Each structure stands twice: as C-alpha cells, then as structure tokens.
Structure 1
C-alpha cells in the first residue's frame, strides 16, 4: 500500500538538501534533478532508468524494484523506500543478480531504488586534485536520484539504506552527515573508517585502474578531506539511527568458494601483519574498521547491531547479511520500533 503519511514523517526531497535555508551540498539551489534519458522495463517489477547526470559528467543508471499497486498509482501516492547502494564496482545490478532482492516477499510493498556509480566512486564528490568537478557521486545521489524518484516514481520520505563494501560506506556517510535522511542503515563488508588504512584503499584503486588520489586526495596533504568523508569521524550523526554493521574477518567462511581472492599489490604490509589463516586482507581490514565504529557507536549509546563472522570480501555474505538486517530496515520504513 502507498505510504499516505510520507509527507510528514521525515525530510522531504527538498528538505534533505536544505536545512535552515542552507543547502547541505553548498550554495547552489536545491532543485537539481537528473533528467531521464531512457526508461526500460526489465520484467514485471523491475525498471531500469538512464539519467543524464551533470554531477557524474555523463549517464547514470538506476534500477527500481516496484511495489504492488505501483502501476496504478495516483498523483501523490508514495511508498516507503529502501535505497541499496552499489559496491566499488559500481554495478547496481548486483542487487538483483547476486542478492536476489526481487525474491524477498517482505519488499512487495516497498519501492527499492538501486543506483549505480562509477568504478571505485566511493559515493563521494571527488577531490580531483583540487579541481573538484565530476564525478560528484554524493551530489548525484542527493540532488539527482533522490529528488527524481520522489517527484516522479512514487518514492516516499520514509527511507532506509543499505550497501555492500563502498555502498556501506556511502549509506553510513549519508546518514551520519544528514541525520533524518534515513530511518535505519546497514553496511556489509564496508570501509567504515578509511582514514585508518588509507594506503589500503589507495592500493585497491590502483589495482582496478583508478587514480585513488583523485578521490580523497593525498592522505597526508589532504588529511582533512579524508576525515571529512570518514563515517567514524561523523559517528555522532548516527546516535539516533538504528545501524546494522556486518563484516567477515578475512578468514575462509562457509560461503567461500575454492578460488582465492586476488592479491592486491601494495597491501604487503597488511598481508605480513595478518593472521596466517586470513585469506582476504581487504575484509580483515573492513572487520577492524567495523569493530572500531561499533565500539564508538556503543560508547555513544547508539542503537547498533554488529555481526563479525568468518568470511571474505564477497557478495555471497552480503546476500545473507541483507536478510539479517531486513527486519531493522523494514521497522524504520513502517515507522515502528527497531526489533
């Protein structure tokens, strides 16, 4: 059923961009919306949008998993909306191909919005060696995707968010920096305190062919930029938001296949420090950062649930952890206390 109370629950699409008349993204007016270039129906519930995105400097893609009754919606109908943010590969289709969110009966009355992003985009407005400019991935999400789906596609203002890997970083960062944007947030195998291990994430960027210094800058010379984007640094903003944090510990787990994760050049320091049974240094680092953020949130008496398990940096665990987090996310979307 449409969320008929959506307009008076939390921030609206315009209000999330402006607080006290000041844009949370700077001085520019808060009415930018991505223009739809193409709309393709994939199946009965799934729609793929292609946007003309000034923030990205090119096309952006968003998948919508529509709820029951969506095709017959009236003007003003709004549904509770779950935003699922892509990992470092930027591939939004992972949510339907690997996570199989379309099979979750609990989401039949929820609009699910799954935006993609550039490779290794980190859900961040890139520093770009001081030049700024595209890709501005945070701006894309807040000023183009969210206002568009709330204006034209029935997205309501009861929102929750989840993400795997860099998507978890983005979901936590958005929530911490804009309290009230999401009613609950979940992160799976995510870099939640990247200033703790800047060389690790710079090595990962280099491994996939991306200039990591363009994202946040040099971790020494642009330390304040790194801090500004770091979810741990903004933990105070999560004090009143239910948070689910999950990460593998880097050791082989029950959902891992026989193929080992590739070694990322430049991570030798962490390989040397890791326990002998660690096969995924990336996930071991995510686990350390997750424990640190969890402890910080507990010290703030924030409502946090943490699950550290044997496992590596693969989406197979995100499939499971999304289902673990779903009751908390749905409670927020339904305006109920967190279970």
Structure 2
C-alpha cells in the first residue's frame, strides 16, 4: 500500500476541478452513433472513439478544448474542424503543426476527426447502393450532433483542411450554404473533374487497397456523382462564406531542403486556377495565396494555417 502526501492529494483535486472530464452520460446522435471511449491526453486534449453507423465501426476524433472549457458549462463555443489528407489520420494536425500553441488563447473548440486513409470526405457510391463508408454523414451529421449534445459545441463553425481535406472543407461548406462562417483549403484539389484528376483520385484509393469505382463511380458514366462531389461545380454555395485557399506549384521552395519536384503539388498547382476562375466568374470573394515554388508537405500547411488563422477567427467572432 502506497501513501500519498497531503500536497499530492490537493494537487490531484485541483487538476480534477480545473480540467473536468467529458460527460459520463452517453451522448447519442439521431442515428445511434455514440462515444464509446474518451481518453484525456492532457489538460486540453481528448481523444474520442465514436461508434458510427455511417462508417460501420469505430472512428477516432481528437478534440482540442479552449481555455475554460467544461462539458457542463452553460455556454457553448465556436468550432473549428480541421481535416486530414489521404494516407494519414486524425493525429496529423497535432503531430505535424503547432496548432496547440497557436490556439492556446483562442476561444474555440477544435475538432480533428479521422477521415479514412482515402475516404475523400464522401458517402461512397458503391455501385449505386450507397452504404458504408459514409464519411460525409459521419462528419456532418453524427459528429456535429455528438459535439453539440455532449461537448458544448455551438453553431458558429469554420472548417479547414489540407490536400484531400481541403477538397472536403470546401465541398462540405458549399453543400451547406451558411453552415460554416469560414472555410480554408491548403493544397486541396478543388476541381476534381479536371483532366487527369479522376485518375489521380482513383490512384489514392487503390493505394489503400480499395476499389476506385466504389468512391464516385466512373468519371464518365457517373459524371453526376462526380459533379456532386466537385467543389468547382458546387462553388455557388460558397457565397457568403469567408474563404481562403493556398497552393504551390510542386517545385522546390523555401521550405524544401532536399526536394527537387513534387508531383502531388504539381497537380494541385495545375488545377487550382480553374477553381479560382470559377469563383471570379461567380463574383464570390476569396483570399488566394498562390505562393509558387513549394511542395505538398507539412511545412507549407503549417505556414498556411498560421496565415489563415486570423481570417478564420474573425469569421467566428473570436478575439485575437
């Protein structure tokens, strides 16, 4: 039997008071999705495991809570969703960027949900049958309901993502006009029916051992499905949303020691002007940082998160 000093006991009590645990009572979404596990990583960070009917299994989500947050508070907090890229997971933003330090004094709840290794932020077509995985339903219905019902998330929202996450951020915002105050895309493919892009998207799915046609079908025979998931085709729905997009050209840039060329960012660089032109034709304001030389790598996305942060926070009405 070990003995604890009175000081240690007091310290433990202080921690439990200052940083309350998430609610013990089960919170359930309309379709039965529920949080089945909660792990506190530090005084601001929680990992949730959500049993999701839309995905057909458990999905992890990381939460970064704001100063003074409590699951039993009478107030709610604005929410920023940060979306990952292909081949990665929900830990990527805290692993690769300084988002924890950047948001330390910001009055915003940050949700970083898993998006699958190549989920492309979509409810998969599956030959017209639908069914799992339903990433859009998970993110935009199940997760939103759980955060609002159990984690004091408010209805003032912003969304940002890198690579495929940038595609997802603009697609989600465009399909729900007014749902998000702001959206940001860092190296996202925003014109998914541009020449060569369907083959590129299919390659990311095949690389993860899944059927490329199961995502959106054939880009010719199921062109309507592709249009329904193409930010360029949905662009009119972005009117009224504060928008930021950035991209490079794939060539060695100032943050690229050892790189000569990056085919991924080259595709982004080739297709992004097509989306920008669409926005200009629609007369929808958008902040564009076409920074030229630079690859499809985290140093640029870290930089762009910082550059877009004031715009995102201003849209949410968050001071500083």
Please indicate the TM-score interval, normalised by the length of the shorter structure: 0.7 to 0.9
1:327 equivalent in alignment to 2:313? no
Aligned to 1:308: 290
- Structure 1: which 5+ runs fail to align? 1-29, 261-278
Distance 1:107 1:170 in 2: 27
| 2:238 is the alignment partner of 1:256 | no
Measured at CA, do residues 84 and 177 of structure 1 come closer, stay the same or move farther in structure 2, by a change above 3 Å? same
- Tell me, what secondary structure is at the counterpart of 1:209? coil
Between 199-208 and 56-65, the greater mean CA deviation after superposition: 199-208
- Give the superposition deviation at 1:169: 0.8
Equivalent residues in 2 for 1:163-312 (5 A)?
163-196=161-194, 197-258=197-258, 279-309=261-291, 310-312=293-295
Aligned to 1:57: 56
Q: CA deviation at 1:259?
A: 5.5
Unaligned runs of 5+ in 2: 1-28
* Distance in 1 (alpha carbons) for counterparts of 2:311 and 2:33: 30
What is aligned with 1:42? Answer: 41
* Structure 1 counterpart of 2:131: 133
Q: Which runs of 4+ in 1 moved over 4 A?
A: none
- CA offsets, 1:233-292, max 9 Å, x none? 0111112111101111111111124256xxxxxxxxxxxxxxxxxx22221111222211
Deviates more, 1:35-44 or 1:63-72: 63-72
Check the 8 A contact 2:71/2:152 in 1, yes or no: no
2:142 to 127, 141, 144: 144
Give distance in 1, aligned partners of 2:140 and 2:31.
9
1:193/1:230 contact within 8 Å kept: yes
Task: Measure the CA separation in 2 of the matches of 1:105 and 1:289.
Answer: 31
User: 2:191 & 2:102 partners in 1: Cα distance?
Assistant: 31
Q: What's the secondary structure of 1:215's corresponding residue?
A: helix
Tell me which residue corresponds to 2:155: 157
Hey, what's the Cα distance between the residues in 2 that align with 1:191 and 1:33?
A: 33
Deviation at 1:112, TM superposition (A): 0.5
> Aligned partners of 1:331, 1:154: CA distance in 2, in Å?
20
CA distance in 2, matches of 1:72, 1:134: 31
Q: Structure 1-normalised TM-score?
A: 0.81
Answer yes or no: is the 8 Å Cα contact 1:245–1:290 preserved in 2.
no
**TM-fit CA distance, 1:77:** 1.6
Q: Shift of the alpha carbon at 1:106?
A: 6.1
Deviates more, 1:101-110 or 1:319-328: 101-110
Contact 1:160 1:185 in 2 (8 A): yes
Q: Distance in 1 between matches of 2:132 and 2:299?
A: 32
8 A contact 2:264–2:296 mirrored in 1: yes
Alignment TM-score, normalising by the size of structure 2: 0.86
RMSD (Å) for aligned C-alpha atoms: 1.9
State how many pairs are aligned: 289
**Distance (Å, rounded) in 2 between the aligned partners of 1:61 and 1:90:** 13
Structure possessing the higher radius of gyration over alpha carbons: 2
Q: Does the CA-based 8 Å contact 2:71-2:150 persist in structure 1? A: no
Contact 1:33 1:147 in 2 (8 A): no
